[in-house]
Every structure is written in structure tokens, then in C-alpha cells.
Structure 1
Amino acid sequence: MKIAIVSQYYRPENATITNSLAAGLTKRGHAVRVITGYPNFPSGRLYPGYRQRLCHRERDGGVDVRRVPIVVSHSQNPFGRIASYLSFALSSFSAGRYIADADVVYVYATQMTAAIAPLVWSRSRRIPFVLHVQDLWPESITGSSILKGRLAKRVVEAILTPWLLLTYQAASATVAIAPTMGAMLHARGVPVDKLHIVYNWNDDGADAGDTTATPSETDAGLTVTYAGNIGHLQDLATVIQAAHQVEDLVGFRLVLIGSGAASDELKKLAERLGAKSVVFRDRIAPSDMRSVYMESDFQIISLKNLKIFRGTIPSKLQASLSHGVPVITTVPGDVASLVQANGIGLTAEPEDVGSLARAFRAAFAMTSKERKSMGRRARQYYQANMTSDAGVDAIERILVGAANARGAVQRWPKRGV
């Protein structure tokens, strides 16, 4: 079967889902073509060795990749960020002939604008598309720091809502990453028979072998780690304030790894509070994350208290569980329910400093044996429910179903670059 993947992010960027999906589908015998931008995430700077051109093709193993030019921006300037999203959507149209005979198009919708070209192709070229929703729009835009002011948010919501409804209705299938997100999408017009729930997964390397972290052989101390985007929606100000409240716990450390729009103000907050237990580290390569998990007793997963986040499962959860690291989370809804039901971490109320501080104290009070037991349960849950093989298998079935509903399938000829 010929499958086209449309994603603004792809290797060498740390785009776990699209990278492993393309490789996994190729391994299963499908011919895969990827339409993507030039790599720049998360720094907002073009990766070394790349120069933007109107048309660029390369091979990634057995995957044929077509890069289209985009506005490179990951700043808090709303015009820059929106220009980046829209430029990829518009540039994707230039790849229309590249995917003209595809059997099905998969859309990685961390930004819903990636679906604009596939939506048009579904009408003009009769190619079905499958929408894999990572973030709910318009709330992911109106609830972020990209837009400021109620009027601007109302205008954006009024523009996006009708288009989103059209996109949901036109998709041959829509994939949600959590049950509550699925319910929200159904309420927004996605038919039940076209709606699927597939948990995100961690990269293939983390699925192999025994990766269970063993950070501490004694009961002394506690290391809680956050690794990822340092943005406003992650609500790390609450995390820092909670860490400051438990500085009487000898050996407690909060390690924040990454970069983002909120980095500078969070460092100033920690300095103003005198939070000596908070350690900031620069962003590291994904290949170096194993050592981070090995020194972590828990990973913190936090988000702002927004309704849409009740139906999301941040990729940090899968990454942490795959390495046998339990979590402390302030994300209500599906994440909190999953953590509580399976005994794979602790929960706290969102944007509640006191509640999170109590969770830190509870984690600190656990023995090394209790922490290790929780870590084993975390790894076991991941292996049973969230491996890359399980995720790729599920997406493959959905893509095959969408293509078969259209008619006969063919194969692209192999092409060298």
C-alpha cells in the first residue's frame, strides 16, 4: 500500500510518532512517502547542514522524504508562530504530484494546519486522509501565550471552529490519543464509527531490553525530573514553588531540563524564591535521555488547568513509563486516572502549590523498595499498552481500512536519491 505522511516535524527532529511510524510501516511492506518541513524544532533555528529550497528529496532508510520550505520560527511572537504553521500548510500543496497516487494520507496533527492540504486533496484527488490529533484546537491556540487579549482569542476561535468541523467530517478516520479527547472530538462532530483511540508511544530504542531505571539504592533523598519544553502551558512555576515549600527535605532535588519561552522567567522565579533545590540544565539530545532517567526517582508531568488537557496524555508519560520511572502528575482527567488506577505514580491538583508539595513529601517518604516496585509497574504497564509495535499496528489497521474503503491499492516504484 502507498502511504503518504504529512507532518511539519520529522527526523532529524525528535518527532517520535512520525519517525517510528514511517519506519514501522516501511518495515511492514508499505511504500511510504513523507512531506515535511526543514528541521528547526525546538530551537527555531535551521539544523546544520540544511538549506531551504523549493524542492528537496532525500532517503531515510526505506522512506522517501520530500521537504517543503517553511517560515522558521518558534518564538512567542504570534505572527511568527502562525506564519510557521501556515507556511507549512501552503507549501505542502507543492507536493500534490508527489502523493498524487497515494492510497491514503496520514496527518500528524500536532498543529491542525497540517491537515489543510490533505483536506483539499481528499476532494480534488479523492485520496482519503486519517487525522491523528495530538492537540485540540482552537483551545491549544487560544489557551496558549501565543495570543493575548480576549478579542484576539474570540476572533481566532470564530475563524478556526467552522474549518475544524469541516476537517473532522471530511477525514476518513480520526485518531485521538486519549479517551477523554475522543469524547471531546465526538462532541465536535467526529462520527463514532470514524473515531479511534490509540495511545502515543515512545521511540523504538526505549522499547528494547531492560531499561528500568535504578536511581537510588537507599531511602535517602529524592530526585524529581522534568525534561522537555519549558513553556507557559507546562505550569512549571507551580512546580518550582512546590519544590521551594519542601526544601526542609534533605536531599530533595528538582531538575528542570530543556529550553523554551518560559525559561528566563522561571529562572528568575527560582532565584527570587531562593529555591536552592531547583537545578536548571540545558536541552539535551534524545539519545542522552537514558542517563537522565537513570538518575530520576520520579518524573514530573504538569500542565495548566485547562479543560482540553483532561483529554491529553503528554509524551513524557510514555517516555517515563518505558524507562521504569514513576511519575508525579498534576494533569487531571485521563492522565491522573491512568496513574492512580495502575499504581504507577502520584497525583496532585493542577495549579495547586500545596497539593503538589504534599505529593513531593509523599514521594520522599517512600522507601527505595516502594519506589522500585512502582517503577516496575510503570514499565509493565508501558509494555502491555504503549509500545511502538502496538501503536504502529493500530495506526496501520486504521490506514488500511481507510484505503480499502476507497478501492484498490497499488505500490510506488522504488526511487534512489
Structure 2
Amino acid sequence: MIDKKKESLMIITNYYPPEIGAASNRIFHLAEGLSSDYTVKVVTPLPNYPTGRIFKDYRNKFTSKSIENGIQIHRLWIFASVSKNKISRLLAMLSYSFSLILYFLRQRTPNKVIIQSPPLIVAFISIFLLKSKKRKIILNVSDLWPRAGLELGALKKNWFYSVLRQMERFNYLNSNIILGQSNEILKHVSEINPKAKTHLYRNYPIIELKEIPTIEKSNKSLTIVYAGLLGVAQGILKLCQNLDFTDIELHIYGSGAEEKEILDFMQKHPTLPIFMHGKLDRNQLHNELMNYDLAIVPLIKRIYGSVPSKIFEFSKLGLPLLYFGGGEGEKIIHNYKLGWVADVGNYENLNSIIETIKSNGLEIQQKKDIQVRANKAFSFEGQLLDLKKTI
């Protein structure tokens, strides 16, 4: 049932359940958290991530409308693709933008709108159209595009990059409030728009508190787990190629653009203790993660503004973290004593730290202490309360 007495609020996002991953979980919890105070409407593409194909239940549809957990969900047509080809990725963003234009022409828009960025072009189109309607625009920035694209090598400094920079500037200058998942993002925004009203809103998950299990191991290998997107930015293939696998195992959960290359590498190196477990739903995954010694959180290189949400999710499960991504994430690991930090891109240093962990061993009490600190520091409820006061 929809409570018509509440103020309406719209969330525009590219990712939403039944899609999996940090982005869809973040927006789902945001929508659910705000639904106690607002009538929330989510506008999102037909689900297709991370496979790049429209999910079976939504195929042959141009749009889909439903009410889920009291939230109105409007799913729009998109040219689905996870191709590394830049043209295909651009077409995907433009197709959803086109669907949004048609949607705005036909539907009444609430006075408050939260817009997820990236994708930068989708955010730009949304802000451009809603600005004329004098809506309160709340821009939720989770990564700094196009800067992140340049740092990852996905973009080059050319005319297209210049256009994206102008879109980014437009977005920051024409939003009423800008949410950023890191202090680096907020600093970047303020450099472009010193008058911007900004608010730190990290990707804290809602997680059922789980008891740390006592694991009887059949061998002495250190079990390291990675769970998440198998994309270019995470660099899991390169991790497989550079780890010293002496007395360690690497377990991988997830899917993405590098999945096939990782499987090909495993087939060519069948003696390496690398195990691919595919995708699991979130509750299943959390249960599985509890069985490993530590989790690795890698990035292929330091990306300014990026703070992987896995830091918050895995630490709340009590998993010690091996962070390999540089930037603000390192400070969080150090400040809250969540594990170890290796120099981003330095695999010799990474292997050295793993050797130290193996030598010193891991105690259950270490995991319990990490879980206590994380659940105290990374409170979704406390953060949501602050957000409601801000918007």
C-alpha cells in the first residue's frame, strides 16, 4: 500500500534489485530507509546487470511497473550491454537517458529527486530536464567520472573527455545537495562548486549480525576470498597472475567483464589453488564468507574518490581485510584496525604482507574485535537519520 499522505520522493538509478552488487544494495537500502518518511518512487532500467542481458522475467517488455516493499518501481527500456566496447557502453547509457526523457514527459515528478551518478550522462540528462521543473535535486556521487575513467585508462584526454568534464561541472553547479561516498569526492565537488551543499553518505550496508564460527581446517593454507564485481577496476585476473600461491587459496565469488579471462587462466594453470564459485544471493554469500580467513579488497590502481563498499560489508561480518587499493580506503583500514594495507599495484609488497599474516596466524578474537568496531563505526541507521535531516 502507498501512503498518499507522505511527501513524495523519486530516486533515479541505473542499478536496483533483483540486480546484485554494491550499487543496487546501496540504493535499495536507501529507498527502503526513506520509505518511512516519504512515498518513494524508484526509476531504473529493466534489470540486466552484471550479465548485460535483460533478466528473463522482464524480457520482451518496454517498461515494467510494480510495488515492492511499499516502494513504487518503474523499470524502463535500456539497450543492455556489459561490453568493453566504448560504443556499446555509450549506447546503453544513451538508451536509458532516452527512456527517462519519455518518462519525464508523461509522468508527474515529485518535488524531491535523488539522482545516482555515475553514469554521468544519465545524471546530466536527468538534472537538465528536472532543473526546468524547479525540483529539489539531490545528486548522489559514488565515483568521480570522468576522472576515474581517465585513471583506469577507459578514457583519454580528448574532445569526448572535455564534454564529460562539462557535464560533470553542470551537474555540480545545478544540484541543490550533493552526497558523496568519500571525503575526496566532496573535496573535488567543492573545488568545482565552492558554494555546493555537500554531505558525506557512505555505502554502509545493513547486515544481520553473525556469530564468528570456529573453523577446523584440514590443511594449513591461508584461505583468501574475493567477492564482488569481476571488472577491469578490480583487477582480479592480474591478482591471479601475480599472487604467490605457497600455502594460500584464492576463492572468488561474483561475475563481470573479466570472468571469462579468469576462467581461461584457471584452465591453463589447473594446479593453482584458485576456486571460482560464481554468483550467490547476498544472504548465501555472507554465510559462505564466514568460512574464510580473510577477504581481499583490490583495485587495479588508486582511483581518486573511490572507497570500496566491501570495506564496510566484510568488516561487519568480522572478516579481516587485506586492502590493496590506495587512497581514502587505506585510512579507514588503519583508523578502525580492520586488517592490513598493501601498496596499490605492488604485488611484491602484497605477497610479503600475506607471508607475514601466514607466519603470525589469525585468531578468532581478531575477527570478533573487527566485527565489534565495524558495527559500531559503520551504522546505516545513524547515517540515514543524518541524511533525512539534510534533505
Of the three residues 195, 199, 203, the one matched with 1:200 is 203
- Whether the 8 Å CA contact 2:124–2:170 is kept in 1: the answer is no
**Bigger relative contact order, structure 1 or 2, given CA contacts below 8 A and separation 6+?**
1
Aligned to 2:182: 178
- Give the deviation of 1:141 after TM superposition: 3.1
Aligned to 1:154: 158
Aligned to 1:350: 344
Judged with a 3 Å threshold, the aligned counterparts in structure 2 of structure 1 residues 74 and 163 are, in CA distance, closer, same or farther, namely same
Alignment of 1:256-405 (within 5 A): 256-270=252-266, 276-306=272-302, 309-369=303-363, 372-399=364-391
Of the three residues 7, 13, 16, the one matched with 1:7 is 13
Aligned to 2:213: 214
Alignment of 1:77-92 (within 5 A): 77-92=85-100
- Worse overlay, 7-16 or 109-118: 109-118
Judged with a 3 Å threshold, the aligned counterparts in structure 2 of structure 1 residues 357 and 275 are, in CA distance, closer, same or farther, namely farther
Judged with a 3 Å threshold, the aligned counterparts in structure 2 of structure 1 residues 102 and 39 are, in CA distance, closer, same or farther, namely same
Give the number of equivalent residue pairs. Answer: 381
- C-alpha distance in structure 1 between counterparts of 2:38 and 2:162, whole Å: 40
Matched, 1:239 2:242: no
- C-alpha distance in structure 2 between counterparts of 1:96 and 1:158, whole Å: 27
- C-alpha distance in structure 2 between counterparts of 1:11 and 1:278, whole Å: 29
Of the three residues 134, 157, 172, the one matched with 2:142 is 134
- Give the deviation of 1:274 after TM superposition: 6.4
- C-alpha distance in structure 2 between counterparts of 1:98 and 1:4, whole Å: 15
Judged with a 3 Å threshold, the aligned counterparts in structure 2 of structure 1 residues 84 and 294 are, in CA distance, closer, same or farther, namely same
Judged with a 3 Å threshold, the aligned counterparts in structure 2 of structure 1 residues 298 and 215 are, in CA distance, closer, same or farther, namely farther
- Give the deviation of 1:366 after TM superposition: 3.0
- Whether the 8 Å CA contact 2:79–2:91 is kept in 1: the answer is yes
What runs of 5+ residues in structure 1 fail to find an aligned partner? 400-417
- C-alpha distance in structure 1 between counterparts of 2:80 and 2:333, whole Å: 37
- Give the deviation of 1:98 after TM superposition: 6.4
TM-score by length of 1: 0.84
Aligned to 1:165: 169
Counterpart code for 2:344: P
Alignment of 1:39-54 (within 5 A): 39-54=47-62
Counterpart code for 1:2: S
Counterpart code for 1:339: I
CA RMSD of aligned residues (A): 2.3
* Superposed CA offset, 1:299-342 (max 9, x none): 11111224xx2421112112201211111011112111111122
- C-alpha distance in structure 2 between counterparts of 1:253 and 1:4, whole Å: 44
Counterpart code for 1:136: L
- C-alpha distance in structure 2 between counterparts of 1:50 and 1:274, whole Å: 38
Counterpart code for 1:109: S
- C-alpha distance in structure 2 between counterparts of 1:385 and 1:191, whole Å: 29
Matched, 1:95 2:89: no
Judged with a 3 Å threshold, the aligned counterparts in structure 2 of structure 1 residues 235 and 54 are, in CA distance, closer, same or farther, namely closer
SS in 1 for 2:66: strand
- Give the deviation of 1:161 after TM superposition: 0.6
Judged with a 3 Å threshold, the aligned counterparts in structure 2 of structure 1 residues 32 and 322 are, in CA distance, closer, same or farther, namely same
Judged with a 3 Å threshold, the aligned counterparts in structure 2 of structure 1 residues 52 and 24 are, in CA distance, closer, same or farther, namely farther
Counterpart code for 1:282: G
- Whether the 8 Å CA contact 2:293–2:362 is kept in 1: the answer is no
SS in 1 for 2:158: helix
- Give the deviation of 1:368 after TM superposition: 3.6
TM-score by length of 2: 0.90
Judged with a 3 Å threshold, the aligned counterparts in structure 2 of structure 1 residues 52 and 272 are, in CA distance, closer, same or farther, namely closer
Aligned to 2:41: 33
Judged with a 3 Å threshold, the aligned counterparts in structure 2 of structure 1 residues 88 and 213 are, in CA distance, closer, same or farther, namely farther
- Whether the 8 Å CA contact 2:245–2:272 is kept in 1: the answer is no
Of the three residues 58, 69, 93, the one matched with 2:66 is 58
Counterpart code for 1:7: T
- Give the deviation of 1:70 after TM superposition: 0.8
- C-alpha distance in structure 2 between counterparts of 1:212 and 1:133, whole Å: 34
Identity, % of aligned positions: 20
